[in-house]
A and B are shown apart, each in its own frame.
Chain A
Amino acid sequence: MPQGPDIAPGRLTDVELALNFSDAHPPLTHAQAVVEADRCFYCYDAPCIEACPTGIDIPRFIRAIATDNMAGSARIILESNILGGSCARVCPTEILCEQKCVHNTREEGQPIRIGMLQRHATDWQMDHGGQPFTRAAPTGQRIAIVGAGPAGLACAHRLAMHGHDVVIHDRHALAGGLNEYGVAAYKLADDFAQREVDFLLSIGGITFEGGKVLGRNMTVASLRREYDAVFLAVGLAGVRSLGIEGEDLDGVMNAVDFIEGLRSANRQTVPVGRRVVVIGGGNTAVDAAVQARRLGAEDVTLVYRRGAENMSATPVEREWAQTNGVTVRLWAAPVRLVARDGVLDGIEFARGRIGPDGRPAYDPDDTFVVAADMVLKAVGQTFMPDPLNGESIAISGGRIMVDATGQTTMQGVYAGGDCTPGEDLTVAAVRDGRDAAEAIHAAYMAAGR
Chain B
Amino acid sequence: MADLRTNFVGIRSPNPFWLASAPPTDKEYNVRRAFEAGWGGVVWKTLGEDPPVVNVSSRYGSLDYNGTRMIGLNNIELISDRPLATNIAEIKSVKRDYPDRAVVVSLMVPCVEESWKAILPIVEETGADGIELNFGCPHGMSERNMGAAVGQVPEYVEMVTRWCKQNTRMPVIVKLTPNITNILMPARAALRGGADAVSLINTVQSVIGVDLDLMAPMPVVDGQGTHGGYCGPAVKPIALRMIGDIARDPELARLPISGIGGIGSWRDAAEFLAMGATTLQVCTAAMHYGFRIVEDMTDGLSAWMDQKGYATIADVTGRAVERFVPWNRLNMKFKTIAKIDQDACIKCGLCHIACEDTSHQAIARSKVDGERHYEVIDEECVGCNLCAHVCPVDECITMQPQPVDGVLTWPEHPSNPARVTVGS
**A contact residues around B393 at 8 Å (CB):** 106
Interface centre among B67, B346, B365, B372 (most CB of A within 10 A): B346
Is A34 within 8 A of B353, CB to CB?
Answer: no
- Cβ of B349: which chain A residues have Cβ within 8 Å of it? 43-46
For residue A298, CB closer than 8 A to chain B, the reply is no
Residue numbers in A under 8 Å from B372 (CB-CB): 45, 47
A205–B184 CA distance with the chains assembled, in angstroms? 73
B66 near A66: Cβ-Cβ < 8 Å: yes
Flag whether A51 is at the interface (Cβ < 8 A). no
Give Cα A46 to B348, complex, Å: 6
Once the chains are docked, how many angstroms separate the CA of A66 from the CA of B64? Answer: 12
Asked whether any CB of chain B lies closer than 8 Å to the CB of A247, the reply is no
A384: Cβ under 8 A from any B Cβ: no
CB–CB B346/A102 < 8 A:
yes
Chain B CB within 8 A of A24 CB: no
User: Residues of A contacting B392 with CB < 8 Å?
Assistant: 41, 106
Contact A47-B350, Cβ < 8 Å, known A35-B67, A66-B66, A106-B393: no
Query: A217 within 8 Å of B by Cβ?
Result: no
Q: In this complex, what residue of B is CB-closest to A66? A: B66
Among A35, A45, A66, A103: residue with most chain B CB under 10 A:
A45
- For residue B169, CB closer than 8 A to chain A, the reply is no
Per-position binary interface string of chain B over residues 34-68, scored 1 when its CB falls under 8 Å from any chain A CB and 0 otherwise: 00000000000000000000000000000000110
- Which residues of A in the span 69-116 have a Cβ within 8 Å of any Cβ on B? 102-103, 105-106
Tell me the complex Cα distance, A106–B394, Å: 10
Tell yes or no: A38 within 8 A of B by CB: yes
Given A35-B67, A38-B66, are A43 and B365 neighbors across the interface (CB < 8 Å)? no
Q: Which residue of A lies closest to B68 (CB)?
A: A38
Contacting A44 at CB < 8 Å: which of B66, B67, B346, B353?
A: B353
Contact B352 A105, beta carbon cutoff 8 Å: no
Question: Which chain A residues border B350 with CB–CB below 8 Å?
Answer: 41-44
Q: List A17-75 residues whose CB lies under 8 Å from chain B.
A: 34-35, 38, 41-47, 66
Specify which chain B residues have a CB less than 8 angstroms from the CB of A34 in the assembled complex.
67
- The total of chain B residues at the interface (CB under 8 A) is 13
Instruction: Give complex CA distance A66, B67 in Å.
Output: 8
Residue from B67, B346, B352, B353 in contact with A106 in the complex, judged by beta carbons closer than 8 Å = B346
Please measure, in the bound complex, the distance between the C-alpha atom of A34 and the C-alpha atom of B347, giving whole angstroms. 24
A42 to B350, CA, bound (A): 8
Tell me the complex Cα distance, A47–B370, Å. 12
Of all chain A residues, the one with the shortest Cβ separation from B351 is A44
Contact A102 B348 (CB under 8 A): yes
Against A, the Cβ 8 Å flags (1 = close, 0 = not) of B97-132 are 000000000000000000000000000000000000
Residue A43 contacts which of B66, B67, B348 (CB distance < 8 angstroms)?
B348
Tell me the complex Cα distance, A35–B69, Å. Answer: 12
Which chain B residues in 384-424 approach chain A with CB under 8 Å? 392-393
Whole-angstrom distance between the Cβ of B238 and the nearest chain A Cβ: 26
* Residues of A with C-beta under 8 A to B365: 45
Contact across chains for B346 and A105 when beta carbons are under 8 A apart: yes
Smallest CB separation, A103 vs chain B (Å): 8
CA distance A103 to B348 in the complex (A): 9
A35 → chain B, closest Cβ, in Å?
6
- Assembly CA distance A38 to B64 (angstroms): 12
Q: Chain B residues with Cβ under 8 A from A41's Cβ?
A: 348, 350, 392
- The interface residues of chain A lying within 8 Å CB-to-CB of B348 are 41, 43-44, 46, 102
Q: Distance (Å) between the CB of A411 and the closest chain B CB?
A: 36
Report chain A residues within 8 Å CB of B346.
102-103, 105-106
Q: How far is the CA of A35 from the CA of B66 in the complex (A)?
A: 9
**What's the minimum C-beta distance from B355 to chain A, rounded to whole angstroms?**
11
Closest chain B CB from A120 CB (angstroms):
15
Residue of A34, A41, A103 most packed against chain B (CB within 10 A)? A41
Separation in Å of the B87 CB from the closest CB of chain A? 41
Measured CA separation A103–B347 after assembly (Å): 10
Query: What A residues does B67 contact at CB under 8 A?
Result: 34-35, 38, 66
Q: Which residues of B contact A66 (CB under 8 A)?
A: 66-67
Q: How far does the Cβ of B367 sit from chain A's closest Cβ, in whole Å?
A: 10
26 contacts between A and B (CB under 8 A): A34-B67, A35-B67, A38-B67, A41-B348, A41-B392, A42-B350, A43-B347, A43-B350, A44-B348, A44-B349, A44-B350, A44-B352, A44-B353, A45-B349, A45-B352, A45-B353, A45-B372, A46-B348, A47-B347, A47-B372, A102-B346, A102-B347, A102-B348, A105-B347, A106-B392, A106-B393
| Additional 14 contacts, C-beta under 8 A, given A34-B67, A44-B349, A105-B346 | A42-B350, A43-B347, A43-B348, A44-B352, A45-B352, A45-B365, A46-B348, A47-B372, A66-B67, A102-B346, A102-B348, A105-B347, A106-B346, A106-B393
